[in-house]
Amino acid sequence: MRVSYQELYDALLRVLSATGMDAERAALCARIVADTTRDGIYSHGLHMFPRLIKMMRSGVVDTTSRPVRTAGFGALERWDGRCGVGALNAHACMEAAIGLARTHGIGCVALANTNHWMRGGTYGWQAADAGVVGICWTNTLPNLPPWGADEPRIGNNPLVVAVPRPASGAHVVLDMAMSQFSYGALASYRRRQELLPVVGGFDRNGELTRDPAAIEQSRRPLPIGFWKGSGLAIVLDAIAALLANGRATHEIPVHPEQETGLSQVFMAIEADSAAGAGNAGRIADAVVEHLGARYPGERTLETRQRNLAKGIPVETSDWEWLTRL
């Protein structure tokens, strides 16, 4: 079924307003989840919302706490998320990084003690809309085997890189996990009863497979680029824990509904200061125009426009659950 953006936002807001959040924060959280679903990232929008509500009800996510700045070193700051709503903590820290970039040309905020940030690309779009280059990443619970191993010991640690194109708003936004397919994407393919377009992991017999259910059961997704993605996941985890003075992946609870205490990094670079006034957008435009192929973020914009015009597709069971709640 399809619902309008306003219907989805209003339903989310009604639920969040009953959780103890103040009105402003409930509205922002509802917008983040609605925007994610509108943009076609269904696995990290409405599909993930029940998990967020369960974690709020269990007390893993504190709906009333706000992130606080605990230390500053020039263009680098350290914040404590205080087990608050992950999406709101992430939004606040990217906003702080943007503010630091306005002053120093570059800003970096490292966040400890936070929760799942929902769609990582949200904060890339946030940075690009502000006219800055945005880079951010998070560690996760251990859900990805290091290359050459069988057991999940590292996280699929999503990485986001955004380059602004102010004239058109068609920003270049790369949002990718360190696994070939995120667990959310695997679940989406499984629900649609579709095979993956390429092999995405191993089954329980150690055979490469395109079957998303088999990969979920074995908990052995492929890292991107095999050993390269595995190595990148490890260094992202180490840098986030180091800068935030927070937990590394091996210290994070392994059950998804207990996944808390994450470490994240948010960076912003003042694009016009680096490239000269107006040049940053022109450079990004020239790169995109000479590709002859899709650029990161292009499909998101197409999906956004289509869903705003025709309504946002939601699974009937998800919508019925939300409206009952």
As annotated, the active-site residues are 44
Please state the φ and ψ torsions of residue 73, each to the nearest 5 degrees.
-135, 70
Q: What is the DSSP string of 138-178?
A: E--SS-BPPTT-SS--B----EEEEE--TTT---EEEEE-S
Q: Residue 183: what residue type? A: Y
Closest CA to 298 of 120, 177, 185, 172: 172
* Closest C-alpha among 224, 128, 126 to residue 177: 224
Token digits of residue 36: 């994610």
The answer to whether 89 touches 256, Cβ cutoff 8 Å, is no
Lookup result for tokens 């509802």: 30
C-alpha separations of 63 from 6, 81, 158, 174, 286 in Å? 23, 11, 24, 29, 44
Dihedral of alpha carbons 43, 49, 51, 52, sign: positive
| Cβ-Cβ contacts under 8 Å for 101 (sequence gap 6 or more) | 75, 107, 132, 268, 269, 270
DSSP helix/strand/coil, 219? coil
* Cα separation, 154 vs 151, whole angstroms: 9
The answer to whether 127 touches 162, Cβ cutoff 8 Å, is yes
- Which residues does 321 contact at the CB level (< 8 Å), separation at least 6? 50
Rounded CA-CA distance 304/298 in Å is: 10
